[in-house]
Structure 1
Amino acid sequence: MKVKVKFLLPKNNLQLLSSKVQMPLCSYDHIPGYDIFSEDVETLRDESSISNDGSIALFIRMLGVDNDPQDREQAVVALWKYSLGGKHCIDSIMKYRGTVNLIVNLLKSESDSACEAAAGLLRVISSINLYRNLVADSGAIEEMTSLLTRSSLSSDVKEQSICTLWNLSVDEKLRVRITSSDILPLLVKFLEDEDIKVKEAAGGVLSNLTLSQSSHKLMVEAGVIPKLANLLNANEEDSKVIRKIARNALLELAKDEYNRILVMEEGLVLVPLVGAAAYKSFRPALYSWPSLPDGTKIEQSSKGPSRYGAAELLLGLNVEDKNVELEEAKMNAVVGRTQQQFLARMGAIEIEDDTKSNGEWSSGQRVTLLPWMDAVARLVLILGLEEESAIAKAAASIADASINEHMRTSFKEAGAIKHLVQFIDHPSDAVRLAVIRALDRLSISNNVCRTIEAENILHPLTNLLKQSKSEISHSLTAMILNILTRILDPNKEMKSKFYDGTVNGSNKGWDVVRHPASAHGNDMIPSELASRNNHLDRRQTIAGGDPVDSTFLSCLVDILKTSIPDLQRKAASILESIVAIEACVEQLISADIESGLEAVFRQKSLIEMEYRTEGDKPDLQILELEEAGLALSAASRLLTKLLDYEQFRLTVNWHQFTRLLHAVLISSIPLQNKEWVAACLVKLGSLSGQNSDFENPINMEVALYETIPRLIEQIKSSFSPEVQEAAVLELNKIISEGMIDSTRAVASEGGIFPLVKLMENGSDRAVEASLAILYNLSMDSENHAAIIAAGAIPVLRKLVLSQRSQWMRALRLLRTLPT
């Protein structure tokens, strides 16, 4: 029997949308190749008629697995077309129990037409909240996963199947099922499909999955962020929907700090939406010849300004002088500034963003994603506005975006530094905190740090630090100290030679650029001396040009007295740079620097460590020891330099510091942090007039707890035979001088195994020194088992049989060991 049906399409699409969850379209106009169907079946207008119900029941019976595959295909196609008539049509189909199971079973068909119709019908049914769980419980997710793994599958089948998953992903419980299934890698793969509608469907599912925080880790591991970033950066006109979907998904993922970094590594930056009204305070200079964004002046080539400022606006996009060559970073800054200022002048800078579904953070702040060049220019433009909240948001975004050298340099070239420095004294706490955080992140770069220093930042920073403790938070103090430490770092000039690369095509370092005389063969100002002078100038200009500002120095001493190792380390590093000015030493003595150093050496974490059990958060203990070790090392360097001044030596309590440093030396702080502690102890001993041999208790303790462990570590971990040889020779010298407990220290530090290995592979001098040390260790029978376990016996026999110059020593050691 052949019947004819004509379906009347509703004007509105079947969509159930929440504020964030996205669902695909389910109307005919979204299904390519279909118009209003009127060819094959009889009209079913009156749903209440028995004949209509009978026809639907007939089609459903035809879906049975015992029917001919061609009949099943025709039935599912007819039902799919009928379901597009509206919710009442879907309800008519769903009145029959088991219908969904029969439709899902058709997804196994080898016919693309049957699979497309079955997936399309499931797509329409799943658009209704009432039937969504029924579709999922019938195994649709698993069957569609199997279907989408087929190598040869038409785009229409892919689209209908993925759109069904898009509907199912609206439900949070179903999102968990989809994420944990094998469908996730397939969805990520379909983001690169040639068919734009398949891309949109896959992106829609992934966008809904990002609404569940628990799904983020699996999605990131599946590589979804780079794929979504590529879609967002696409400029094709037909990709607006997928770009919107990709933006929403990335904004959800970026709510996690780690994922935010991954998003920014793909060239996208989170930019706050401050509202189009905030840009009304933007006042472009129409008739002044502009400079580059970083403030560099440009020679004016035209006779006069253009009538409407167009030449100034487009400066850099069309350079008349062909001999002018701008660096790529400067050119990007010019182009980005031009585009953003043009939008601001037009009053359209956030109109497009406002129409998009942008992310909203827990704080209520609305953000969008922009390519890095536009984002850098937009953020710098916001810094020039008058609204405080907008400035704070822009500075916070700059801090978050400064994740690598490229981004830090981009902000510097865009002129962000000058704006940020101007806001250090801002009355708003929110603005001040955001600005300092941004400068802290930017100053990590040596190149950017020099620009920050050139903006005369020292005076406002030190003034801010000198405020009472009640007015400045711990986090703000830490960031200020970070910036000051980097600016006053005496090794900064040397670092720039190795890490900043070439300057204007030259392989010479920054000092050559700063001091051209040395570049032309003038030896009156060597680069090392110039670096030292530059550093001295920075120290002398700190605190507003007064190198002996007692308030500032007292503030640093007070920070030393806190119980926070991180702040103590930074304060000690700054004071270490300042004590080169002799006038500051008197001020530090007056500020009671001695009690500040004592507070550092009495680390609370070291005292508490003695009373902790082995099961008390070992990871936390390691972290605390590392932080304490860094603070102790910095304080030891500071004390060592202070001991160079007689006025300090006359006031210092020798015995007190010797006792404190001795306790630090035998503590559990990392070995690398004990180096300056040991050096300071040795200097204290020499200045007190004690002997320098190992009979001196200080030197003996230094050798046992710093020198011997350090030498053994070098023998263990160094890849250089020369370093290993030097270490074992020095170790042999210490032991041969008969210092008490030296052999026990070697054994307890695990030195036997690396010595045996060096005895096998080292140079002649290293082998001889290793044999001597092991022989001394063998005098204690408790070490025999460890020497034998390290494999010494076969190595010694090999040395004896080879008749090498050390064979007599090897034979003597072999006779000492039990064999």
Structure 2
Amino acid sequence: MSSFQSSPVARSPLRPSPIHSMASTAAPSPKLFHRQRRKEMARRRNAPAWNCPALLLLRYGHPPTPRLLVRASGDGGAAEANPRDSALPPDIEMFNRSASASDGFVGLFVRMLGLDNDPLDREQAVITLWKYSQGGQNCIERIMEFPGCINLVVSLLKSGSCSTCEAAAGLLRTVSSINSYRDVVAESGAIEEIFRLLCQSFLTPEVKEQSLCTLWNLSIDEKLRVRIANNDFLPMLVKFLDDEEIKVKEAAGGILANLVLSPCNHSIMVEAGVIPKLADLLKCNNEGYKIIRKEAKTTLLELSKDEYYRILVIEEGLIRVPVIGAAAYKSFRPQTYSWPSLPDGIEIQRNSRPSRYGASELLLGLNIREKNFDLEELKVNALVGRSQQQFLARIGAIETEDGRNSQSESSLNQQYTLLAWIDGVARLVLILGLEDVCAITRAAYSIADASVSERMRLLFKEAGAVRHLVKMLCHNNEATREAAAYALDRLSVSHVVCQTIEAEGGSDLLINILKDSKTTNSLLETTVNILCRIFDPLDDVKTKFQDKFVDESEEVLIGTSSSQDFGGLSISKTSSVSEGTTRERIIDSDVILCLIDILRTSSPSLQIKVASILEFAAAFEPHVATITAAGINSALDAVFQKGSLDGMDGDDDYTLELNAIEAEEIGLATAAASRLLAKLLNFEQFCQSVDAMHFVNLLRKILKSTIPLHTKDWVAACLIKLESKFGLATNLGHSIEMEVTLYETIPRLVEQMRTSFADESREAAVVELNKIISRGVMECTRAVAAAGGIFPLVELIKDGSGDALEASLAILHNLSMDSENHAAIIAAGAVPILKRIVLSEGPQWNRALHLLRTLPT
């Protein structure tokens, strides 16, 4: 695609070879040539016969009818003519008699390109050279023997004549098709001049085509791609994808297909809007778009190697599907004369005999949208896509359009294609049912990559991908098990898919993987992620919200009247998902021991999930005894020890960024462990074994540490529960509630005032903060100042009213009692605002006056 030979050409290359073999005669003098040419130009319309050989070459650019030209024979001049013509026309005879060697004519036309020549002469010269260059590499080399020729051609791109610009761009196109001359064309300023030319509005499609094809050839060179892919030209190149002429579209697509080969161009191409345009062209089924679709696929596949750009491609309705070769589909064994059915168990029965090749399913899939059929869109898409892909697999027509079935296995392992959502989802699910281990592994990873939205996850669920992936969890190949677990992990973000995984028996298989001591760390982490979502303690709450996903049409289908008949189709719910074991019975003592060991030794990111699973198990009293006996105290202690650090040292910005990420994970792990501890405190058998004082000291350190503020809420709640459960206030000599107020409540309220966009939320925060400050504890005032509450308080004084304004003035007045806060209050701009309140004599003018008197103004 990137070579000149494969790019579209406006005209077939004609090779004027007879010029090189003509008898050598004296060429006419330039003076005579120009005089005759002006004479002929004056009477061009009335005198079609040209007598000057040079003008004949100017007119045609090559011998107009090669079969009429006299060919020099090996015996020194015996002429041969076409047997169908008894005599040559007079102008051809004169041309043959007076034509000199080709070098002389090439030099003449190159001299005619000079800036001091008439524009019309320059136009005719560049047209002639363009046509002559189409004779092949030898002709191009003779043109390039004249230094400065390309510079003169580039200067013609500034011409106001479209024919001149077309010829100049066409000559640059043919010259740039030779590898050794691309640098010469680029150094002559052709790239910048073509940019300028393409910005013009009067250009014809031919000028656009030749100019873009020149850039297409130049973009083969890697070092020239950066010059072509500049921020000014790319948006214009994207606009050419909407051009009416297919040749212009193809040339623009060819340039993009070459530019994308340099990773440094990816970001600016995406910013220019390449992905939506190319996706539309790839999905277009117009006749004659085969080349542009191939270019679009090449570009999008290269961009989709980046996971972030892959999401943008998927959002445009395309899925990256591995190419596995037609031979791999031979293991596909559909049931002969099978009845069409939906992946969720709805069976569609036909009155007529179905086809053994699946034609009945295909016809049903193609026509189901036209029926007045009460079925949700996702199920219709699943049926349509599956019927189309299975039909192609049955007749052996899948992955054969590009001859990929003849490629080697090693090359197929690296190849992908792009398909629309419906076909892509069905193709991936079809591959999951094959026997090729490499194919199903690649398909599982592709499903994981495509599961970027709730819609995509539900599409895979309706297409039956979950059932295949669950079966792959017990595959004897380790890489296949990891791929299946990774895909299920990405799909399980959807609560509906989580329910399907559990209903298909995935929980048992995941638990077995968890118990296996040979499980790799990556597979173990993925397994814990899925189990965390399945055994989510907030599952009941989620279920209430997720019930809206149940389609009303499905409720009708599976109700008491569980069958429908429409147009010869009988639809009934014939199968239901087996209930299997309950969640409580799945978690046994071995699982709990394994989870506690992971909680004690794993990373913070994994501790978050394990603590969530144990929190689910702690909801059942029989499990609490097992959790207590398994050593949960030591595991919780290990988690809290990490969170009780005051902070981590770091000098450079990179270290600080890493520490911020680590602190976030540690804070979330601490919060999850605090939730687990709070739930375990509900059981007396655990309370008898816990060292409450030890955990209180650890949680107090965590409360004062530098972990993110939003992770301290459960720490504070757990501290208060420990205090009330064991009555530790007397032993500590002070109330834990005060520490919670200082290190969690006040910073949280200040953060709410600073970051909330809703006025009601900010006003509620300042009113609650004023209630805390009004208790008269000096530490609370210092906590407000330390949390950065002065500036948001001044903003509330400026914009607030009523109770919020009253509360803000009261807090600021308490803050002004400490002289260390005066500078910050003045810097926040409080003085002008307070003066305005006093002068307005509103309800709060008296408090504002007291505050002004306190400040050093």
Q: Same fold (TM over 0.5)?
A: yes
Q: Verify the 8 A CA contact 1:563 1:603 in the aligned structure 2.
A: no
What amino acid sits opposite 1:591 in the alignment?
Answer: A
Mapped partners of 1:100, 1:193: distance in 2 = 29
Residue in 2 that maps onto 1:708: 746
What residue number does 1:575 align with? 614
Counterpart CA distance in 1 for 2:419 and 2:369 is 30
Letter in 1 for 2:63: S
- Deviation at residue 304 of structure 1 after TM alignment: 4.8
Residue equivalent to 1:653: 691
Q: Write the mapping of 1:771-810 to structure 2, written as runs, cut at 5 A.
A: 771-800=809-838, 804-810=842-848
**Alignment CA distance shift 1:662-1:376 (3 Å):** same
Corresponding residue of 2:11 = 28
How far off its partner does 1:629 sit? Answer: 1.1
Task: Give the match for residue 132 of structure 2.
Answer: 82
| Structure 1 residues 771 and 231, CA gap change in structure 2 (3 angstroms) | closer
* Offset, 1:592: 0.5
Flag the 1:757–1:129 CA change in 2: closer, same or farther, 3 A: closer
TM-score, normalised via structure 2 length: 0.83
Q: Report the equivalent of 1:627.
A: 665
The one-letter code matched in structure 1 to 2:505 is N
**CA shift for structure 1 position 818:** 2.9
C-alpha distance in structure 2 between counterparts of 1:183 and 1:359, whole Å: 39
With over 3 angstroms needed to count, the CA separation of the structure-2 counterparts of 1:730 and 1:206, relative to structure 1, is closer
- 2 CA distance for matches of 1:359 and 1:740? 78
CA distance in 1, matches of 2:392, 2:292: 24
> Structure 1: how far apart are the matches of 2:656 and 2:250?
48
Q: Does 1:379 align with 2:418?
A: no
Structure 1: distance between partners of 2:682 and 2:207: 82
- Select 1:555's aligned residue among 594, 601, 606: 594
Match of 2:391 among 342, 348, 356: 342
- Report the 3-state secondary structure (helix = DSSP H, G, I; strand = E; otherwise coil) of the residue aligned with 1:370: strand
The offset of 1:562, in angstroms, is: 2.3
Q: Which moved more, 1:221-230 or 1:792-801?
A: 792-801
Matches within 5 A, 1:108-127: 108-127=158-177
Q: Aligned partners of 2:595, 2:728: CA distance in 1, in Å?
A: 33
Change in CA separation of 1:358 and 1:106 when aligned onto 2, cut-off 3 Å: farther
Letter in 1 for 2:501: I
Structure 1 position 418, deviation (Å): 0.8
What is the CA deviation profile of residues 684-712 of structure 1, one whole-angstrom value per residue up to 9, with x for unaligned ones? 11222134999624222211111111122
Equivalents in 2 of 1:721, 1:764: separation in Å?
A: 13
Which is further off, 690-699 or 326-335? 690-699
Moved more, 662-671 or 754-763: 754-763
In structure 1, which of residues 487, 490, 494 is the aligned counterpart of residue 541 of structure 2? 494
The one-letter code matched in structure 1 to 2:345 is T
Look up the SS of the partner of 2:346 in the other structure: coil
Is 2:185 the partner of 1:163? no
Separation of aligned partners in 2, 1:728 and 1:692: 32
Cα 1:354–1:51 change in 2 (3 A) is closer
In structure 1, stretches of 5+ residues that fail to align are 1-14, 518-536
Structure 1 residue aligned with 2:734, among 670, 689, 696? 696
Does 2:244 correspond to 1:194? yes
CA deviations 1:139-192 (Å, max 9, x no partner) are: 111111111111011111111111111111111111222113743332221111
Separation in structure 2 between the aligned mates of residue 163 and residue 308 of structure 1, nearest angstrom: 46
Partner in structure 2 of residue 669 of structure 1:
707
Distance of 1:546 and 1:403 partners within structure 2? 30
Q: Which AA in structure 2 matches 1:379?
A: L
CA distance in 1: counterparts of 2:303 and 2:408, whole angstroms: 10
Aligned to 2:583: 542
Which position in structure 2 is the counterpart of 1:529?
A: none
The one-letter amino acid paired with 1:653 is D
The residue type equivalent to 2:532 in the other structure is: T
Q: Does 1:459 align with 2:508?
A: yes
Tell me by how many angstroms 1:417 deviates: 1.0
Instruction: Decide whether the 8 Å contact of 1:376 with 1:411 is kept in 2.
Output: yes
SS in 2 for 1:668: coil
CA separation in 2, counterparts of 1:630 and 1:47? 91
2:783 aligned residue: 745
Residue 608 to residue 757, structure 1, CA distance change in 2 (3 Å): closer
Equivalent pair of 1:255/1:361 in contact (CA under 8 Å): no
The answer for unaligned runs of 5 or more in structure 2 is 15-58, 75-98, 561-577
Deviation at residue 287 of structure 1 after TM alignment: 1.9
Give the distance between the partners of 1:16 and 1:804, measured in 2 at CA.
76
Larger radius of gyration: 2
SS in 2 for 1:818: coil
Cα distance change, pair 787–164 in 1 and its aligned pair in 2 (3 A): closer
Amino acid in structure 2 at the alignment position of 1:571? V
**Cα drift, residue 448 of structure 1:** 2.2
Letter in structure 1 aligned against 2:706:
S
Provide the C-alpha distance between the structure 1 equivalents of 2:362 and 2:557, rounded to a whole number of angstroms.
Answer: 32
The answer (yes or no) to whether the contact 1:678–1:702 under 8 Å persists in 2 is yes
Distance 1:514 1:642 in 2: 44
Distance 1:298 1:26, change over 3 A: closer
Equivalences for residues 379-458 of structure 1 within 5 A: 379-458=428-507
CA distance in 2, matches of 1:264, 1:322: 29
Report which structure shows greater RCO (CA 8 Å, sep ≥6).
2
SS in structure 2 at match of 1:270: strand
Task: Tell me by how many angstroms 1:743 deviates.
Answer: 1.4
Q: How does 1:97-176 map to 2 (within 5 A)?
A: 97-176=147-226
Q: Which amino acid aligns with 1:191?
A: L
Q: 1:320 to 1:232 in 2, by over 3 A?
A: closer
* 1:521-540 alignment runs, 5 A limit: none
Range moving further from structure 2, 415-424 or 711-720: 711-720
Query: Partner of 2:319: helix, strand, or coil?
Result: strand
CA distance in 1, matches of 2:558, 2:358: 39
**Displacement after TM superposition at 1:679 (Å):** 0.9
Larger CA deviation: 346-355 vs 264-273:
346-355
Structure 1 residues 758 and 222: alpha-carbon distance in aligned structure 2, compared to 1, 3 A threshold? closer
Change in Cα spacing, 1:23 to 1:166, as seen in structure 2 (3 Å) is farther
Q: Specify the alignment match of 1:528 in structure 2.
A: none
Give distance in 2, aligned partners of 1:806 and 1:692. 42
Distance in 2, matches of 1:281 and 1:215, equals 41
Letter in 2 for 1:628: I
Task: Quote the Cα distance in structure 2 between the aligned partners of 1:363 and 1:642.
Answer: 54
- Residues 721 and 306 (structure 1), Cα distance of their counterparts in 2 relative to 1, 3 Å cut: closer
Q: CA deviation at 1:812?
A: 3.7
Shift of 1:272: 0.6
Deviates more, 1:698-707 or 1:790-799: 790-799
1:274 aligns with 2:324: yes
Whole-angstrom CA distance in 2 between matches of 1:344 and 1:675: 56
1:223 Cα offset (Å):
1.2
CA offset at residue 395 of structure 1? 0.5
Contact 2:719-2:736 at 8 Å conserved across structures = yes
Note the 1:176-191 alignment, pairs <5 A: 176-180=226-230, 182-191=232-241
TM-superposed CA distance for 1:59, in Å, is 1.1
Q: What is the alpha-carbon distance in structure 1 between the residues aligned to residue 667 and residue 190 of structure 2?
A: 59
Measure how far apart 1:802 and its partner are: 5.2
Structure 1 362/697 Cα, relative in aligned 2: closer, same or farther at 3 Å?
Answer: farther
Matched residue, 1:736: 774
Q: Report the aligned-residue RMSD.
A: 3.5
Q: 3-state DSSP class of the match of 1:426? A: coil
SS across alignment from 1:317: helix
Q: Distance in 1 between matches of 2:281 and 2:688?
A: 70
Task: Determine if contact 2:612/2:672 at 8 Å carries over to the other structure.
Answer: yes
Residue 793 of structure 1: CA displacement?
Answer: 3.7
Distance 2:678 2:522 in 1: 29
For 1:557 and 1:16, the matched residues in 2 are separated by: 58
Separation (CA, whole Å) in 2 of partners of 1:419 and 1:635:
35
Deviation (angstroms), 1:725: 4.5
